C-alpha cells in the first residue's frame, strides 16, 4: 500500500512548506515567549549565582538589596567577619541608573565592589580586573561599552578596563562594577547643584553657624558630604558550615537581616518577578491555544480542498482507516515542519531580543510533543468531516 499522505505532500510540496513555515513562525513565537519567561527567571537566578555569595546581609526588615532599598553602615562588615563560620565578607553598593553611551542612554546597575572581596565578578571575557583605587570600571558587554572607553557619572570620568558577560540585574539591566568608594560617592553624594543648595541652607541655619564657635560650620558641612553607607554585605561561609545557621546568628543582632541563597532566590523569583512572569505565562498559554486553533483551521481547510478526491477514494473502496491516517499523517508532517522551522527561527532571533531569552532543550522537547498532540487533535475535526463525506457525491446528479 502506498502512503497517500506522503504522495499528497510531495505533490503540493510548495504549499505544504509554505504553510509549514507560517505555522513554524507561530510556533517560533510561542517558543520564544517561553524563552522570555525562562530568561526572566534566569536573570534573577544568574544575578544571585554570579554574586558567588552564601549570605546577603541587609538592613533589618527589608527585602533588600535587590527587591527593596537597604542601607547599612560600612563598618558592619568588620563585625560580621568575626562571626563563627564566616570565611569572607565584603561591602557592596547597588544603584540602578542611566549613563550616556554613544549619545544614547543606557540603563545599568552600578555595583560598588572591593577588590578581592565577595561581589567581584568571577570571570571576565576581556581586559583585566580593577587595579586602581578610583575611576576604573568593569562593564558588561550588554552595555555596548568597549575596553578603553570612558563614560561620565556625576563629577568623574570612568575608564572601562574589563568586560563581563551575563552580569545583569534581576530586571536584565547590565551591571557596571566600580570601586566601592566611588559607588558610595555616586549613591549618597548628590550632584553639584544640590550640594551647593544644601551648603547654603546649612550656612544660614543659626544652629550650625554660630559666631562664637569657629570651625563649627565647616565641620557640619564636612559631615554632610561623607558617605559611609553601603547597601549590603556579601558573605561567604567556610566549608562545613550551614548557611542558614550562620544567617540566623547574624539576624540575632536586631538591626540586621540576613538571607541565604535559597531565600534570596525566593524573594526575587517568587516576589519580584512573579507578576511579570505570570503575565508572560498567560500570554504563552493564549499563544499556544491560538496556535492550536490555527493548526486545526489549516488542516481542516486542506482536507476540505480534497473533498472530491476523498469521495472518489471512498467510492473505489478506500476505508475509513486509510483516509483517516492520510489526514493524520499530513497533520503530523505539517507539525514537524512547523516545529523545525519554529525552533530554528527562535534560536536565530533569540539573541536579538533586548532582554535575555533562554531556550532550553526541555522546553523544545515539550514543545515538540505539544505540537504533535495539537496537530493530532486538530486533525480530528478534519477526519470527522472526511468520514462524513458521502461517496455518492462522486457520482454526479
Partner 1 sequence: MSKLRFKIILLVILLTSVLAWVIFTQGPLAPVKVTTEKIQTGNLVVEVFGIGLVEARHSYDISPVMTGRIKSLLVDQGDRVRKGQVVAILDPIDLDEKLASSRLIAERSASSIKIAEAELVQAESQSRTISSTYKRYVELHSKGFVSQEMLDAKLNEKTAALAALDVANASLASAKRDQLKAQSDAAGMKSLRNQTRLLSPINGIVTETMLEQGVTVVPGQAVLQVIAPTDLWIKTRIDQKQAGMIKAGQKAIIVLSSHPQTSISGTVERVDLISDSVTEERIVNVSFADPEINSSLGEYAEVTIKLPVQENARSIPTAAVKRINQQDGVWVLQNSRARFVPVKIGIESLDGRTQILDGLRDGDEVIVYSQQAIKEDLKLKIVPKIVGN
Partner 2 sequence: MREPAIKIENLMKRYGEGDTAVDALKGVDMTIWPGEVVGLVGPSGSGKSTLLKCLGAVIEPTSGKMQLGGESIFDNTWKIDDLRTLRRDRIGFVFQAPYLIPFLDVTDNIALLPMLAGVPNTQARIRARELLDALDVGHRATAQVSELSGGEQQRVSIARALANQPPIILADEPTAPLDSERALTVVRILNQMAQQYQTAIIVVTHDEKIIPTFKRIYHIRDGRTYEEAGEGRDA
At 8, list the grid cell: 499528497
Residue 15 contacts partner 2 per CB under 8 A:
no
Judged by beta carbon, residue 68 or residue 79, the one nearer partner 1 is: 79
Q: Which of 103, 206, 212, 397 binds partner 2 (CB under 8 A)?
A: 397
d(CA 129, CA 139): 11
Q: Which of 148, 316, 354, 362 binds partner 2 (CB under 8 A)?
A: 316
| CA-based nearest residue to 93, from 180, 171, 192 | 180
Residue 127, burial from CB neighbour count under 10 angstroms (0-12, 13-18, 19+): middle
At 187, list the grid cell: 549613591
Judged by beta carbon, residue 102 or residue 321, the one nearer partner 1 is: 102
Judged by beta carbon, residue 297 or residue 349, the one nearer partner 1 is: 349
Q: Give one DSSP letter per residue of 129-194, joined into a string.
A: ---SSSSEEEEEGGG---TT-EEEETTEEEEEEEEESS-B-TTSPBEEEEEHHHHHHHHHS--HHH
At 139, list the grid cell: 562593564
Judged by beta carbon, residue 304 or residue 348, the one nearer partner 1 is: 348
Residues 74-93 that bind partner 1 (CB under 8 A): 75, 87-88
Residue 128 contacts partner 1 per CB under 8 A:
yes
Positions of E strands within 263-321:
none
Q: Which of 162, 172, 174, 335 binds partner 1 (CB under 8 A)?
A: 162
Residue 396 contacts partner 1 per CB under 8 A:
no
The residue written with cell numbers 568588620 in the block is 78
Handedness of CA 22, 24, 27, 31 (dihedral sign): negative
Residue 240 contacts partner 1 per CB under 8 A:
no
Contact letters for partner 1, residues 287-326 (x by CB under 8 A): ----------------------------------------
Q: Are strands 156-164 and 126-127 parallel, antiparallel or unpaired?
A: antiparallel
Judged by beta carbon, residue 242 or residue 390, the one nearer partner 1 is: 242
Q: Are 20 and 338 in contact (CB under 8 A)?
A: yes
Within 8 A by CB and 6+ apart from 171, the residues are 43
Judged by beta carbon, residue 64 or residue 85, the one nearer partner 1 is: 85
| Cβ 10 to partner 2 shortest distance, Å | 7
Q: Which of 148, 206, 212, 317 binds partner 2 (CB under 8 A)?
A: 317
| Cβ 21 to partner 2 shortest distance, Å | 20
d(CA 280, CA 274): 10
Residue 240 binding: pick among partner 1, partner 2, none (C-beta 5-8 Å cut-off by kind): none
Judged by beta carbon, residue 8 or residue 74, the one nearer partner 2 is: 8
Interface residues toward partner 2, by CB under 8 A: 1-2, 4, 7-8, 10-12, 308-309, 312-319, 322, 390-392, 394-397
Amino acid at each position: 500500500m502506498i502512503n497517500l499522505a506522503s504522495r499528497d505532500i510531495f505533490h503540493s510540496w510548495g504549499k505544504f512548506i509554505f504553510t509549514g513555515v507560517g505555522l513554524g513562525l507561530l510556533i517560533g513565537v510561542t517558543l520564544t515567549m517561553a524563552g522570555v519567561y525562562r530568561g526572566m527567571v534566569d536573570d534573577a537566578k544568574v544575578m544571585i549565582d554570579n554574586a558567588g555569595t552564601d549570605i546577603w546581609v541587609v538592613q533589618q526588615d527589608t527585602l533588600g538589596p535587590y527587591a527593596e532599598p537597604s542601607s547599612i553602615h560600612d563598618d558592619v562588615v568588620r563585625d560580621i567577619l568575626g562571626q563563627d563560620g564566616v570565611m569572607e565578607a565584603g561591602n557592596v553598593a547597588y544603584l540602578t541608573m542611566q549613563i550616556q553611551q554613544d549619545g544614547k542612554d543606557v540603563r545599568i546597575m552600578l555595583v560598588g565592589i572591593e577588590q578581592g572581596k565577595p561581589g567581584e565578578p568571577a570571570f571576565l571575557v576581556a581586559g583585566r580586573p580593577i587595579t586602581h583605587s578610583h575611576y576604573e570600571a568593569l562593564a558588561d558587554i550588554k552595555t555596548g561599552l568597549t575596553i578603553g572607553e570612558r563614560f561620565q557619572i556625576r563629577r568623574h570620568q570612568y575608564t572601562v578596563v574589563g568586560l563581563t558577560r551575563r552580569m545583569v540585574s534581576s530586571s536584565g539591566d547590565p551591571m557596571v562594577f566600580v570601586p566601592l568608594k566611588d559607588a558610595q560617592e555616586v549613591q549618597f553624594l548628590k550632584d553639584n547643584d544640590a550640594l551647593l543648595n544644601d551648603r547654603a541652607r546649612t550656612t544660614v541655619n543659626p544652629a550650625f553657624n554660630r559666631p562664637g564657635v569657629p570651625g563649627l560650620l565647616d565641620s557640619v558641612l564636612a559631615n554632610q558630604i561623607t558617605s559611609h553607607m553601603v547597601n549590603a554585605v556579601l558573605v561567604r561561609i567556610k566549608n562545613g558550615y550551614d548557611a542558614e545557621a550562620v544567617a540566623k546568628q547574624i539576624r540575632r543582632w536586631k538591626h540586621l537581616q540576613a538571607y541565604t541563597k535559597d531565600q534570596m532566590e525566593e524573594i526575587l523569583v517568587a516576589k519580584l518577578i512573579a507578576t511579570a512572569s505570570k503575565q508572560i505565562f498567560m500570554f504563552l498559554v493564549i499563544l499556544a491555544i491560538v496556535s492550536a486553533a490555527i493548526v486545526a483551521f489549516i488542516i481542516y481547510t486542506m482536507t476540505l480542498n480534497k473533498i472530491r478526491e476523498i469521495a472518489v477514494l471512498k467510492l473505489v473502496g478506500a476505508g475509513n482507516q486509510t483516509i483517516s491516517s492520510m489526514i493524520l499523517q499530513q497533520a503530523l508532517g505539517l507539525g514537524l515542519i512547523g516545529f523545525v522551522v519554529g525552533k530554528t527561527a527562535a534560536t536565530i532571533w533569540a539573541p536579538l531580543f533586548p532582554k535575555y531569552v533562554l531556550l532550553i532543550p526541555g522546553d523544545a522537547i515539550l514543545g515538540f510533543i505539544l505540537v504533535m498532540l495539537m496537530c493530532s487533535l486538530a486533525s480530528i475535526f478534519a477526519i470527522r468531516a472526511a468520514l462524513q463525506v458521502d461517496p455518492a457525491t462522486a457520482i454526479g446528479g
